[in-house]
Amino acid sequence: MDIRPLTGELSVAPQIAAADMQALADAGFRSVICNRPDGEGADQPTCDELERAALERGIEVRYLPAESGKVTDEQGAEFGALMAALPKPVLAFCRTGMRSTTMWALSQAGKMPLPQIIELSSKAGFDLKGVVRRIVNGGKTPVEVADATHDVVIIGGGAAGIAVAASLLARSPNLDIAIIDPADIHYYQPGWTMVGAGVFDAATTARTMASVLPRGVHWLKSAVAAFEPERDVVILDGCRVVKYQQLVVCPGLKLDWHGIEGLSETLGRNGVTSNYRYDLAPYTWQLVQQLGRDKRDAKALFTQPPMPIKCAGAPQKAMYLSADHWRRAGVLDAIDIQFCNAGAVLFGVADYVPALMEYVKAYNIGLNFGQTLLAVDGPGRKATFSRANADGSKDIITRDFDMIHVVPPQKSPDFIRVSPLSDAAGWVDIDPATLRHKTYANIFGLGDAGNTPNAKTAAAARKQAPVVAHNLLASRGAARGEAKYDGYGSCPLTVERGKIVLAEFTYGGKVAPSFPAWLIDGTRPSRLAWYLKERVLPPLYWEGMLKGREWMAQPEMVG
Protein backbone atom coordinates (compact mmCIF):
# COMPACT_ATOMS: atom_id res chain seq x y z
CA MET A 1 0.00 0.00 0.00
CA ASP A 2 1.21 3.45 -0.91
CA ILE A 3 -0.30 5.66 1.79
CA ARG A 4 0.38 9.38 1.37
CA PRO A 5 -0.57 11.74 4.19
CA LEU A 6 -2.28 15.00 3.18
CA THR A 7 -3.07 16.26 6.67
CA GLY A 8 -2.97 14.84 10.19
CA GLU A 9 -6.53 13.56 9.63
CA LEU A 10 -6.47 12.44 6.02
CA SER A 11 -4.25 10.27 3.83
CA VAL A 12 -4.82 9.21 0.24
CA ALA A 13 -3.78 6.08 -1.60
CA PRO A 14 -4.07 4.29 -4.93
CA GLN A 15 -6.48 1.34 -5.13
CA ILE A 16 -6.49 -0.77 -1.95
CA ALA A 17 -7.48 -4.43 -1.50
CA ALA A 18 -9.64 -6.11 1.13
CA ALA A 19 -6.50 -7.79 2.43
CA ASP A 20 -5.08 -4.34 3.26
CA MET A 21 -7.72 -3.65 5.92
CA GLN A 22 -5.76 -5.25 8.74
CA ALA A 23 -2.71 -3.10 7.95
CA LEU A 24 -4.94 -0.01 7.83
CA ALA A 25 -6.45 -0.90 11.21
CA ASP A 26 -2.96 -1.47 12.61
CA ALA A 27 -1.90 1.93 11.27
CA GLY A 28 -4.81 3.46 13.21
CA PHE A 29 -7.16 4.36 10.35
CA ARG A 30 -10.80 4.52 11.45
CA SER A 31 -12.54 5.32 8.16
CA VAL A 32 -12.09 4.73 4.45
CA ILE A 33 -13.60 6.76 1.60
CA CYS A 34 -13.81 4.98 -1.74
CA ASN A 35 -13.66 7.47 -4.61
CA ARG A 36 -13.29 4.97 -7.41
CA PRO A 37 -16.49 3.76 -9.14
CA ASP A 38 -17.05 0.02 -8.83
CA GLY A 39 -16.12 -1.86 -11.98
CA GLU A 40 -13.76 0.79 -13.35
CA GLY A 41 -10.93 -1.74 -13.55
CA ALA A 42 -11.11 -5.51 -14.08
CA ASP A 43 -9.11 -6.50 -10.98
CA GLN A 44 -10.68 -4.04 -8.56
CA PRO A 45 -12.66 -5.14 -5.45
CA THR A 46 -16.12 -3.57 -5.08
CA CYS A 47 -16.70 -1.09 -2.31
CA ASP A 48 -19.04 -3.64 -0.62
CA GLU A 49 -16.24 -6.21 -0.49
CA LEU A 50 -13.93 -3.67 1.07
CA GLU A 51 -16.60 -2.64 3.54
CA ARG A 52 -17.11 -6.23 4.75
CA ALA A 53 -13.40 -6.58 5.47
CA ALA A 54 -13.33 -3.13 7.07
CA LEU A 55 -16.31 -3.61 9.40
CA GLU A 56 -14.73 -6.69 10.97
CA ARG A 57 -11.88 -4.39 12.01
CA GLY A 58 -14.00 -1.48 13.18
CA ILE A 59 -13.32 0.71 10.15
CA GLU A 60 -16.18 2.66 8.58
CA VAL A 61 -16.41 2.82 4.78
CA ARG A 62 -18.20 5.40 2.58
CA TYR A 63 -18.68 5.27 -1.19
CA LEU A 64 -18.27 8.59 -3.03
CA PRO A 65 -17.30 7.60 -6.58
CA ALA A 66 -16.08 10.07 -9.21
CA GLU A 67 -15.17 9.52 -12.85
CA SER A 68 -11.51 9.99 -13.59
CA GLY A 69 -10.77 13.65 -14.44
CA LYS A 70 -14.38 14.65 -13.72
CA VAL A 71 -14.62 15.40 -10.04
CA THR A 72 -17.63 17.70 -9.63
CA ASP A 73 -18.02 20.67 -7.32
CA GLU A 74 -20.74 18.79 -5.46
CA GLN A 75 -18.42 15.84 -4.84
CA GLY A 76 -15.91 18.25 -3.34
CA ALA A 77 -18.59 19.52 -0.97
CA GLU A 78 -19.74 15.96 -0.12
CA PHE A 79 -16.18 14.92 0.60
CA GLY A 80 -15.93 17.84 3.05
CA ALA A 81 -19.15 16.71 4.76
CA LEU A 82 -17.86 13.13 5.04
CA MET A 83 -14.60 14.35 6.51
CA ALA A 84 -16.50 16.33 9.11
CA ALA A 85 -18.64 13.32 10.11
CA LEU A 86 -16.33 10.29 9.91
CA PRO A 87 -14.06 9.05 12.71
CA LYS A 88 -10.47 10.02 12.00
CA PRO A 89 -7.91 9.43 10.67
CA VAL A 90 -9.42 8.76 7.26
CA LEU A 91 -7.93 7.06 4.21
CA ALA A 92 -9.40 8.07 0.83
CA PHE A 93 -8.50 6.20 -2.33
CA CYS A 94 -9.21 5.95 -6.05
CA ARG A 95 -7.08 4.47 -8.84
CA THR A 96 -4.05 6.69 -8.12
CA GLY A 97 -5.22 8.95 -5.28
CA MET A 98 -5.72 11.94 -7.58
CA ARG A 99 -9.54 12.05 -7.42
CA SER A 100 -9.44 11.79 -3.62
CA THR A 101 -6.88 14.58 -3.44
CA THR A 102 -8.93 16.74 -5.82
CA MET A 103 -12.09 16.29 -3.74
CA TRP A 104 -10.22 17.16 -0.59
CA ALA A 105 -8.70 20.24 -2.25
CA LEU A 106 -12.13 21.45 -3.41
CA SER A 107 -13.53 20.84 0.06
CA GLN A 108 -10.78 23.02 1.52
CA ALA A 109 -11.39 25.98 -0.82
CA GLY A 110 -11.89 29.11 1.22
CA LYS A 111 -10.89 27.32 4.42
CA MET A 112 -7.19 26.72 3.85
CA PRO A 113 -4.92 29.13 1.90
CA LEU A 114 -4.50 28.03 -1.72
CA PRO A 115 -0.68 27.72 -1.54
CA GLN A 116 -1.04 25.38 1.44
CA ILE A 117 -3.56 23.21 -0.42
CA ILE A 118 -1.25 23.03 -3.44
CA GLU A 119 1.81 22.40 -1.32
CA LEU A 120 0.26 19.59 0.75
CA SER A 121 -1.04 17.92 -2.42
CA SER A 122 2.28 18.26 -4.15
CA LYS A 123 4.10 16.74 -1.17
CA ALA A 124 1.76 13.77 -1.52
CA GLY A 125 2.70 13.60 -5.21
CA PHE A 126 -0.35 15.23 -6.83
CA ASP A 127 -0.32 18.25 -9.13
CA LEU A 128 -3.52 20.27 -8.80
CA LYS A 129 -2.93 22.72 -11.62
CA GLY A 130 -6.10 21.54 -13.39
CA VAL A 131 -8.34 22.60 -10.49
CA VAL A 132 -6.57 25.70 -9.21
CA ARG A 133 -9.21 28.02 -10.65
CA ARG A 134 -11.98 26.10 -8.97
CA ILE A 135 -10.21 26.23 -5.63
CA VAL A 136 -9.68 29.98 -6.00
CA ASN A 137 -13.37 30.22 -6.85
CA GLY A 138 -14.40 28.69 -3.52
CA GLY A 139 -14.59 25.10 -4.83
CA LYS A 140 -16.92 25.98 -7.71
CA THR A 141 -16.29 25.81 -11.45
CA PRO A 142 -15.92 29.40 -12.73
CA VAL A 143 -17.32 30.64 -16.01
CA GLU A 144 -14.61 30.30 -18.66
CA VAL A 145 -13.99 33.95 -19.63
CA ALA A 146 -11.10 36.34 -19.14
CA ASP A 147 -12.30 39.26 -17.03
CA ALA A 148 -9.54 41.46 -18.39
CA THR A 149 -6.98 41.30 -21.17
CA HIS A 150 -3.84 43.41 -21.46
CA ASP A 151 -0.75 43.37 -23.66
CA VAL A 152 1.52 43.34 -20.64
CA VAL A 153 0.57 42.33 -17.13
CA ILE A 154 2.91 43.11 -14.23
CA ILE A 155 2.47 41.35 -10.90
CA GLY A 156 3.53 43.63 -8.05
CA GLY A 157 3.66 47.42 -7.95
CA GLY A 158 6.76 47.63 -5.78
CA ALA A 159 10.15 49.04 -6.69
CA ALA A 160 10.59 46.57 -9.55
CA GLY A 161 7.03 46.58 -10.94
CA ILE A 162 6.60 50.34 -11.16
CA ALA A 163 10.10 50.75 -12.60
CA VAL A 164 9.42 48.19 -15.33
CA ALA A 165 6.09 49.79 -16.22
CA ALA A 166 7.74 53.19 -16.43
CA SER A 167 10.64 51.87 -18.52
CA LEU A 168 8.22 50.13 -20.89
CA LEU A 169 6.17 53.30 -21.35
CA ALA A 170 9.32 55.36 -21.86
CA ARG A 171 10.06 53.13 -24.85
CA SER A 172 6.54 52.41 -26.05
CA PRO A 173 4.07 55.02 -24.75
CA ASN A 174 0.94 53.34 -26.15
CA LEU A 175 1.55 49.92 -24.70
CA ASP A 176 -1.46 48.52 -22.82
CA ILE A 177 -0.08 47.65 -19.36
CA ALA A 178 -1.82 46.48 -16.20
CA ILE A 179 -0.20 46.25 -12.77
CA ILE A 180 -1.80 43.89 -10.32
CA ASP A 181 -1.19 44.78 -6.67
CA PRO A 182 -3.56 44.72 -3.70
CA ALA A 183 -1.57 47.31 -1.70
CA ASP A 184 -2.81 50.87 -1.18
CA ILE A 185 0.64 52.14 -0.27
CA HIS A 186 3.97 51.92 -2.07
CA TYR A 187 6.99 52.05 0.22
CA TYR A 188 10.54 53.25 -0.30
CA GLN A 189 11.94 50.50 1.91
CA PRO A 190 15.61 51.58 1.68
CA GLY A 191 14.55 54.61 3.74
CA TRP A 192 13.55 52.48 6.73
CA THR A 193 17.15 52.14 7.95
CA MET A 194 17.25 55.92 8.14
CA VAL A 195 13.87 56.02 9.93
CA GLY A 196 15.23 53.57 12.52
CA ALA A 197 18.09 55.99 13.16
CA GLY A 198 15.93 59.12 13.41
CA VAL A 199 17.27 60.57 10.15
CA PHE A 200 14.11 60.25 8.01
CA ASP A 201 10.53 60.71 9.05
CA ALA A 202 8.64 57.46 8.29
CA ALA A 203 5.99 59.30 6.28
CA THR A 204 8.57 60.32 3.66
CA THR A 205 9.04 56.66 2.75
CA ALA A 206 5.37 56.01 1.86
CA ARG A 207 3.19 57.20 -1.00
CA THR A 208 -0.19 56.04 -2.20
CA MET A 209 -0.02 53.41 -4.93
CA ALA A 210 -2.31 55.53 -7.07
CA SER A 211 0.19 58.40 -6.99
CA VAL A 212 3.22 56.35 -8.09
CA LEU A 213 1.55 54.36 -10.88
CA PRO A 214 2.70 55.66 -14.25
CA ARG A 215 -0.04 57.50 -16.10
CA GLY A 216 -1.98 55.23 -18.44
CA VAL A 217 -1.24 52.01 -16.56
CA HIS A 218 -4.31 50.05 -15.46
CA TRP A 219 -4.26 49.15 -11.78
CA LEU A 220 -5.98 45.89 -10.89
CA LYS A 221 -6.22 46.21 -7.13
CA SER A 222 -6.15 42.55 -6.24
CA ALA A 223 -3.72 39.78 -5.34
CA VAL A 224 -2.64 37.14 -7.82
CA ALA A 225 -3.47 33.67 -6.52
CA ALA A 226 -2.27 31.36 -9.28
CA PHE A 227 -0.77 31.04 -12.77
CA GLU A 228 -1.82 29.20 -15.91
CA PRO A 229 1.20 29.93 -18.11
CA GLU A 230 0.11 27.53 -20.84
CA ARG A 231 -3.04 29.62 -21.31
CA ASP A 232 -1.34 33.02 -20.74
CA VAL A 233 -3.58 33.88 -17.81
CA VAL A 234 -3.21 34.66 -14.15
CA ILE A 235 -5.97 34.07 -11.64
CA LEU A 236 -6.72 36.65 -9.01
CA ASP A 237 -8.13 36.12 -5.53
CA GLY A 238 -11.85 35.62 -6.02
CA CYS A 239 -11.15 33.91 -9.35
CA ARG A 240 -11.03 36.84 -11.74
CA VAL A 241 -8.98 35.82 -14.74
CA VAL A 242 -6.52 38.19 -16.44
CA LYS A 243 -5.06 37.39 -19.84
CA TYR A 244 -1.75 38.70 -21.15
CA GLN A 245 0.63 38.54 -24.06
CA GLN A 246 3.66 39.13 -21.84
CA LEU A 247 3.82 38.73 -18.09
CA VAL A 248 6.29 40.33 -15.67
CA VAL A 249 6.50 38.72 -12.23
CA CYS A 250 7.84 40.87 -9.38
CA PRO A 251 5.82 40.47 -6.17
CA GLY A 252 8.84 40.84 -3.85
CA LEU A 253 9.51 38.32 -1.09
CA LYS A 254 7.72 37.11 2.00
CA LEU A 255 8.90 38.24 5.43
CA ASP A 256 8.24 35.21 7.59
CA TRP A 257 7.53 36.87 10.94
CA HIS A 258 5.84 33.68 12.13
CA GLY A 259 9.05 31.74 11.44
CA ILE A 260 10.29 32.91 14.85
CA GLU A 261 8.25 31.67 17.77
CA GLY A 262 6.66 34.38 19.87
CA LEU A 263 7.90 37.22 17.64
CA SER A 264 4.62 38.41 16.10
CA GLU A 265 2.98 38.72 19.53
CA THR A 266 5.66 41.01 20.87
CA LEU A 267 6.82 43.10 17.91
CA GLY A 268 6.60 46.79 18.72
CA ARG A 269 6.60 46.11 22.47
CA ASN A 270 8.96 44.88 25.17
CA GLY A 271 12.03 46.24 23.38
CA VAL A 272 11.41 44.09 20.28
CA THR A 273 11.68 45.90 16.97
CA SER A 274 12.58 45.64 13.29
CA ASN A 275 13.41 48.13 10.55
CA TYR A 276 11.86 45.63 8.12
CA ARG A 277 8.41 47.05 8.83
CA TYR A 278 7.26 50.59 8.14
CA ASP A 279 5.34 50.88 11.39
CA LEU A 280 8.20 49.48 13.50
CA ALA A 281 11.18 51.45 12.22
CA PRO A 282 10.17 54.48 14.35
CA TYR A 283 10.08 52.16 17.39
CA THR A 284 13.71 51.23 16.69
CA TRP A 285 14.67 54.89 17.01
CA GLN A 286 12.57 55.25 20.15
CA LEU A 287 14.33 52.27 21.76
CA VAL A 288 17.77 53.48 20.74
CA GLN A 289 17.14 56.87 22.32
CA GLN A 290 15.70 55.30 25.48
CA LEU A 291 18.65 52.96 25.92
CA GLY A 292 20.99 55.91 25.44
CA ARG A 293 19.14 57.88 28.13
CA ASP A 294 18.19 55.70 31.00
CA LYS A 295 19.99 52.40 30.83
CA ARG A 296 23.21 51.24 32.32
CA ASP A 297 24.57 47.74 31.66
CA ALA A 298 22.03 47.28 28.91
CA LYS A 299 22.03 44.47 26.39
CA ALA A 300 21.25 45.14 22.73
CA LEU A 301 20.87 42.27 20.26
CA PHE A 302 20.83 42.56 16.47
CA THR A 303 19.94 39.45 14.49
CA GLN A 304 20.38 38.31 10.90
CA PRO A 305 18.54 35.26 9.47
CA PRO A 306 19.90 32.83 6.86
CA MET A 307 20.35 34.16 3.31
CA PRO A 308 18.81 35.14 1.02
CA ILE A 309 17.35 38.30 2.51
CA LYS A 310 16.59 41.66 1.00
CA CYS A 311 19.32 44.20 1.60
CA ALA A 312 21.78 41.85 3.25
CA GLY A 313 23.48 44.82 4.94
CA ALA A 314 20.34 46.14 6.64
CA PRO A 315 20.66 44.00 9.82
CA GLN A 316 24.07 45.51 10.58
CA LYS A 317 23.20 48.99 9.32
CA ALA A 318 20.63 49.21 12.12
CA MET A 319 23.32 48.12 14.57
CA TYR A 320 26.03 50.59 13.52
CA LEU A 321 23.64 53.56 13.55
CA SER A 322 22.36 52.56 17.01
CA ALA A 323 25.91 52.16 18.32
CA ASP A 324 26.87 55.51 16.83
CA HIS A 325 23.99 57.17 18.67
CA TRP A 326 25.08 55.55 21.96
CA ARG A 327 28.66 56.68 21.33
CA ARG A 328 27.50 60.25 20.78
CA ALA A 329 25.31 60.04 23.89
CA GLY A 330 28.34 58.89 25.88
CA VAL A 331 26.79 55.56 26.93
CA LEU A 332 28.43 53.15 24.48
CA ASP A 333 30.54 51.58 27.24
CA ALA A 334 27.41 50.77 29.23
CA ILE A 335 25.75 48.83 26.42
CA ASP A 336 26.66 45.29 25.47
CA ILE A 337 26.02 44.97 21.71
CA GLN A 338 25.86 41.51 20.16
CA PHE A 339 25.38 40.71 16.46
CA CYS A 340 23.88 37.24 16.07
CA ASN A 341 24.17 36.21 12.45
CA ALA A 342 22.92 32.89 11.06
CA GLY A 343 25.61 33.16 8.39
CA ALA A 344 29.36 32.67 8.64
CA VAL A 345 30.64 36.07 7.48
CA LEU A 346 30.00 39.73 8.29
CA PHE A 347 29.30 40.67 4.66
CA GLY A 348 29.20 38.48 1.56
CA VAL A 349 31.69 40.54 -0.49
CA ALA A 350 35.07 40.35 1.27
CA ASP A 351 36.40 43.71 -0.01
CA TYR A 352 34.06 45.61 2.31
CA VAL A 353 34.71 43.58 5.45
CA PRO A 354 37.91 45.36 6.68
CA ALA A 355 36.16 48.75 6.85
CA LEU A 356 33.19 47.17 8.63
CA MET A 357 35.48 45.39 11.11
CA GLU A 358 36.99 48.73 12.13
CA TYR A 359 33.52 49.83 13.21
CA VAL A 360 32.80 46.51 14.92
CA LYS A 361 35.93 47.08 17.03
CA ALA A 362 35.27 50.76 17.64
CA TYR A 363 31.74 50.01 18.88
CA ASN A 364 32.98 46.95 20.79
CA ILE A 365 30.39 44.72 19.12
CA GLY A 366 30.41 40.99 19.84
CA LEU A 367 30.20 38.99 16.60
CA ASN A 368 28.38 35.66 16.81
CA PHE A 369 28.25 33.69 13.59
CA GLY A 370 26.14 30.58 13.00
CA GLN A 371 23.51 31.80 15.48
CA THR A 372 19.93 31.68 14.23
CA LEU A 373 17.09 33.27 16.16
CA LEU A 374 14.41 30.69 16.98
CA ALA A 375 12.17 32.34 19.56
CA VAL A 376 11.55 35.62 21.33
CA ASP A 377 9.98 35.95 24.75
CA GLY A 378 9.09 39.63 24.84
CA PRO A 379 7.80 39.99 28.42
CA GLY A 380 10.66 37.80 29.72
CA ARG A 381 13.15 39.70 27.50
CA LYS A 382 14.84 36.53 26.36
CA ALA A 383 15.85 35.42 22.87
CA THR A 384 16.59 31.80 21.98
CA PHE A 385 19.09 30.90 19.28
CA SER A 386 20.29 27.76 17.63
CA ARG A 387 24.10 27.84 17.65
CA ALA A 388 26.23 25.97 15.13
CA ASN A 389 29.48 24.81 16.73
CA ALA A 390 32.85 24.37 15.04
CA ASP A 391 32.62 20.57 15.33
CA GLY A 392 29.37 20.55 13.33
CA SER A 393 27.12 20.07 16.35
CA LYS A 394 24.31 22.45 17.29
CA ASP A 395 23.00 23.62 20.61
CA ILE A 396 20.41 26.04 21.91
CA ILE A 397 21.38 29.17 23.78
CA THR A 398 19.34 31.93 25.40
CA ARG A 399 20.32 35.56 25.60
CA ASP A 400 18.80 38.36 27.68
CA PHE A 401 18.05 41.67 26.03
CA ASP A 402 16.82 45.16 26.75
CA MET A 403 16.44 45.79 23.04
CA ILE A 404 16.43 43.37 20.13
CA HIS A 405 16.38 44.32 16.45
CA VAL A 406 15.07 41.32 14.55
CA VAL A 407 15.35 40.65 10.84
CA PRO A 408 12.85 37.91 10.00
CA PRO A 409 13.56 34.85 7.84
CA GLN A 410 12.64 35.54 4.21
CA LYS A 411 11.27 33.32 1.51
CA SER A 412 9.56 33.34 -1.81
CA PRO A 413 5.86 34.36 -1.68
CA ASP A 414 3.65 31.30 -1.18
CA PHE A 415 1.76 31.70 -4.46
CA ILE A 416 5.07 31.81 -6.35
CA ARG A 417 6.62 28.89 -4.46
CA VAL A 418 3.81 26.51 -5.42
CA SER A 419 3.48 27.77 -9.00
CA PRO A 420 4.86 26.33 -12.25
CA LEU A 421 7.11 29.41 -12.49
CA SER A 422 9.31 28.58 -9.51
CA ASP A 423 12.64 26.80 -9.22
CA ALA A 424 13.30 24.10 -6.64
CA ALA A 425 13.92 26.73 -3.95
CA GLY A 426 10.64 28.51 -4.74
CA TRP A 427 11.92 31.64 -6.55
CA VAL A 428 10.90 32.73 -10.06
CA ASP A 429 13.16 30.78 -12.37
CA ILE A 430 14.73 33.33 -14.73
CA ASP A 431 17.82 33.62 -16.88
CA PRO A 432 20.43 35.65 -14.95
CA ALA A 433 21.29 37.86 -17.95
CA THR A 434 18.05 38.32 -19.91
CA LEU A 435 15.68 37.94 -16.92
CA ARG A 436 13.38 35.91 -19.15
CA HIS A 437 11.70 32.88 -17.60
CA LYS A 438 13.63 29.70 -18.32
CA THR A 439 10.54 27.78 -19.45
CA TYR A 440 7.97 30.35 -20.57
CA ALA A 441 9.40 32.73 -23.17
CA ASN A 442 6.72 35.40 -22.70
CA ILE A 443 7.28 35.66 -18.95
CA PHE A 444 9.95 37.81 -17.26
CA GLY A 445 10.90 38.19 -13.64
CA LEU A 446 12.90 40.64 -11.56
CA GLY A 447 13.24 42.13 -8.10
CA ASP A 448 13.34 40.20 -4.86
CA ALA A 449 11.18 37.33 -6.16
CA GLY A 450 13.65 36.31 -8.87
CA ASN A 451 16.20 33.52 -8.47
CA THR A 452 19.11 35.49 -9.95
CA PRO A 453 22.07 35.38 -7.55
CA ASN A 454 22.39 39.16 -7.10
CA ALA A 455 21.88 41.13 -3.89
CA LYS A 456 18.13 41.56 -3.42
CA THR A 457 18.01 45.36 -3.46
CA ALA A 458 16.09 48.22 -5.03
CA ALA A 459 19.42 49.13 -6.65
CA ALA A 460 19.33 45.77 -8.45
CA ALA A 461 15.72 46.33 -9.54
CA ARG A 462 16.75 49.76 -10.89
CA LYS A 463 19.21 48.08 -13.26
CA GLN A 464 16.97 45.09 -14.02
CA ALA A 465 13.89 47.10 -15.03
CA PRO A 466 15.34 48.55 -18.27
CA VAL A 467 16.68 45.09 -19.21
CA VAL A 468 13.23 43.53 -18.80
CA ALA A 469 11.60 46.45 -20.64
CA HIS A 470 13.94 46.08 -23.59
CA ASN A 471 13.79 42.29 -23.83
CA LEU A 472 10.02 42.23 -23.42
CA LEU A 473 9.59 44.74 -26.25
CA ALA A 474 12.08 42.75 -28.36
CA SER A 475 9.88 39.70 -27.90
CA ARG A 476 6.94 41.79 -29.23
CA GLY A 477 9.03 42.78 -32.24
CA ALA A 478 9.20 46.36 -30.98
CA ALA A 479 12.94 46.47 -30.16
CA ARG A 480 16.09 44.93 -31.51
CA GLY A 481 18.90 43.03 -29.81
CA GLU A 482 19.02 41.54 -26.36
CA ALA A 483 19.74 43.48 -23.18
CA LYS A 484 21.78 41.90 -20.44
CA TYR A 485 21.81 42.36 -16.66
CA ASP A 486 25.23 41.98 -15.05
CA GLY A 487 24.02 41.24 -11.51
CA TYR A 488 24.57 44.75 -10.16
CA GLY A 489 23.38 45.33 -6.63
CA SER A 490 24.30 47.91 -4.05
CA CYS A 491 24.24 48.17 -0.31
CA PRO A 492 25.02 51.50 1.35
CA LEU A 493 26.33 50.35 4.74
CA THR A 494 25.57 53.17 7.15
CA VAL A 495 28.51 52.72 9.51
CA GLU A 496 27.89 55.97 11.38
CA ARG A 497 25.63 58.98 11.04
CA GLY A 498 27.28 60.90 8.21
CA LYS A 499 29.38 58.05 6.73
CA ILE A 500 28.68 55.09 4.50
CA VAL A 501 30.67 52.17 3.15
CA LEU A 502 29.11 51.98 -0.30
CA ALA A 503 29.17 48.36 -1.42
CA GLU A 504 28.47 47.96 -5.14
CA PHE A 505 29.04 44.67 -6.91
CA THR A 506 27.89 42.44 -9.74
CA TYR A 507 27.44 38.67 -10.07
CA GLY A 508 30.06 36.66 -8.23
CA GLY A 509 30.72 39.50 -5.77
CA LYS A 510 32.79 41.45 -8.33
CA VAL A 511 33.24 44.96 -7.01
CA ALA A 512 31.60 47.43 -9.45
CA PRO A 513 31.84 51.06 -8.25
CA SER A 514 29.67 53.67 -9.96
CA PHE A 515 32.12 56.45 -9.12
CA PRO A 516 35.90 56.85 -9.47
CA ALA A 517 37.77 55.97 -6.27
CA TRP A 518 38.93 59.58 -5.74
CA LEU A 519 35.26 60.58 -5.41
CA ILE A 520 33.91 57.60 -3.48
CA ASP A 521 36.16 54.71 -2.49
CA GLY A 522 33.50 52.11 -1.73
CA THR A 523 35.77 50.12 0.54
CA ARG A 524 36.25 53.09 2.90
CA PRO A 525 33.68 55.05 4.91
CA SER A 526 32.61 58.05 2.84
CA ARG A 527 30.78 61.30 3.65
CA LEU A 528 29.78 61.78 0.05
CA ALA A 529 28.18 58.33 0.00
CA TRP A 530 26.10 59.34 3.04
CA TYR A 531 25.06 62.50 1.20
CA LEU A 532 24.02 60.27 -1.71
CA LYS A 533 21.92 58.03 0.54
CA GLU A 534 20.33 60.89 2.47
CA ARG A 535 19.78 63.43 -0.29
CA VAL A 536 20.23 61.92 -3.75
CA LEU A 537 18.88 58.38 -3.66
CA PRO A 538 15.31 59.17 -2.47
CA PRO A 539 14.63 61.63 -5.35
CA LEU A 540 16.49 59.28 -7.72
CA TYR A 541 14.00 56.59 -6.67
CA TRP A 542 10.78 58.59 -6.81
CA GLU A 543 11.58 60.87 -9.75
CA GLY A 544 14.01 58.73 -11.71
CA MET A 545 13.52 55.00 -11.31
CA LEU A 546 9.74 55.12 -10.85
CA LYS A 547 9.35 57.56 -13.75
CA GLY A 548 11.28 55.62 -16.38
CA ARG A 549 14.29 57.94 -16.29
CA GLU A 550 17.12 55.46 -16.45
CA TRP A 551 19.88 57.58 -14.93
CA MET A 552 23.02 55.41 -14.78
CA ALA A 553 20.84 52.38 -15.55
CA GLN A 554 20.96 52.12 -19.34
CA PRO A 555 21.00 48.42 -20.19
CA GLU A 556 24.00 46.78 -21.78
CA MET A 557 23.27 45.12 -25.14
CA VAL A 558 24.54 41.79 -26.33
CA GLY A 559 23.19 41.76 -29.85
Ligand X SMILES: Cc1cc2nc3c(=O)[nH]c(=O)nc-3n(C[C@H](O)[C@H](O)[C@H](O)COP(=O)(O)OP(=O)(O)OC[C@H]3O[C@@H](n4cnc5c(N)ncnc54)[C@H](O)[C@@H]3O)c2cc1C
| Residue 197 is a binding residue for ligand X (CB under 6 A) | no
Among 34, 239, 250, 311, the one annotated catalytic: 311
One residue of 192, 200, 488, 530 binding ligand X per CB under 6 A: 192
- Phi/psi of residue 62, nearest 5 degrees: -125, 150
Residue with smaller CB distance to ligand X, 193 or 371 = 193
Dihedral (CA of 328, 332, 334, 339) sign: positive
- Phi/psi of residue 280, nearest 5 degrees: -100, -25
Integer Cα distance of 96 and 112 in angstroms: 24
| Residue 160 is a binding residue for ligand X (CB under 6 A) | yes
Annotation says 94 is catalytic: no
Quote the least distance from Cβ 289 to ligand X, whole Å.
19
Integer Cα distance of 284 and 47 in angstroms: 63
Interacting span for ligand X (CB under 6 A) from 11-19, 46-54, 64-72, 447-455: 447-455
| Residue 180 is a binding residue for ligand X (CB under 6 A) | yes
Annotation says 311 is catalytic: yes
One residue of 37, 378, 492, 544 binding ligand X per CB under 6 A: 492
For residue 505, give the 3-state DSSP assignment. strand
One-letter amino acid at 468 equals V
One residue of 133, 134, 310, 437 binding ligand X per CB under 6 A: 310
| Residue 311 is a binding residue for ligand X (CB under 6 A) | yes
Quote the least distance from Cβ 397 to ligand X, whole Å.
26
Integer Cα distance of 182 and 23 in angstroms: 49
Integer Cα distance of 526 and 514 in angstroms: 14
Please work out the total of residues on this chain that contact ligand X, with binding judged by CB under 6 A.
Answer: 37
Dihedral (CA of 427, 433, 438, 443) sign: positive
Quote the least distance from Cβ 202 to ligand X, whole Å.
12
Integer Cα distance of 252 and 461 in angstroms: 10
| Residue 275 is a binding residue for ligand X (CB under 6 A) | yes
Give the pairing of strands 556-557 and 206-208: unpaired
| Residue 307 is a binding residue for ligand X (CB under 6 A) | no
One residue of 50, 155, 263, 503 binding ligand X per CB under 6 A: 155
Quote the least distance from Cβ 191 to ligand X, whole Å.
8
Binding-site string for ligand X from residue 452 to residue 491, where x marks contact by CB under 6 A and - marks none: ----xxxx-x----------------------------x-
Residue with smaller CB distance to ligand X, 105 or 160 = 160
One residue of 76, 252, 525, 555 binding ligand X per CB under 6 A: 252
Quote the least distance from Cβ 182 to ligand X, whole Å.
6
Quote the least distance from Cβ 279 to ligand X, whole Å.
13
Quote the least distance from Cβ 393 to ligand X, whole Å.
33
β-strand partners of 492: 502
One residue of 76, 80, 161, 214 binding ligand X per CB under 6 A: 161
Nearest Cα to Cα of residue 157 among 79, 76, 218? 218
One residue of 282, 308, 408, 447 binding ligand X per CB under 6 A: 447
CA dihedral 375→254→316→370, nearest 10 degrees, is 50
Nearest Cα to Cα of residue 10 among 115, 83, 64? 83
One residue of 61, 82, 136, 250 binding ligand X per CB under 6 A: 250
Quote the least distance from Cβ 167 to ligand X, whole Å.
13
Distances (CA, A) of 499 to 379, 502, 525: 36, 9, 6
Query: CB-based contacts of 126: which residues, under 8 Å, 6+ apart?
Result: 12, 97, 98, 101, 102
| Residue 183 is a binding residue for ligand X (CB under 6 A) | yes
| Residue 199 is a binding residue for ligand X (CB under 6 A) | no
What DSSP state is assigned to residue 518?
A: T
- Phi/psi of residue 51, nearest 5 degrees: -65, -40
- Residue 202 near residue 196 (C-beta atoms within 8 A): no
Which residues carry out catalysis? 311, 491
Applying CB under 6 A, the residues found at the interface with ligand X are 155-161, 180-183, 189-190, 192-193, 223-224, 250-252, 275-276, 310-311, 314, 413, 415, 447-449, 456-459, 461, 490, 492
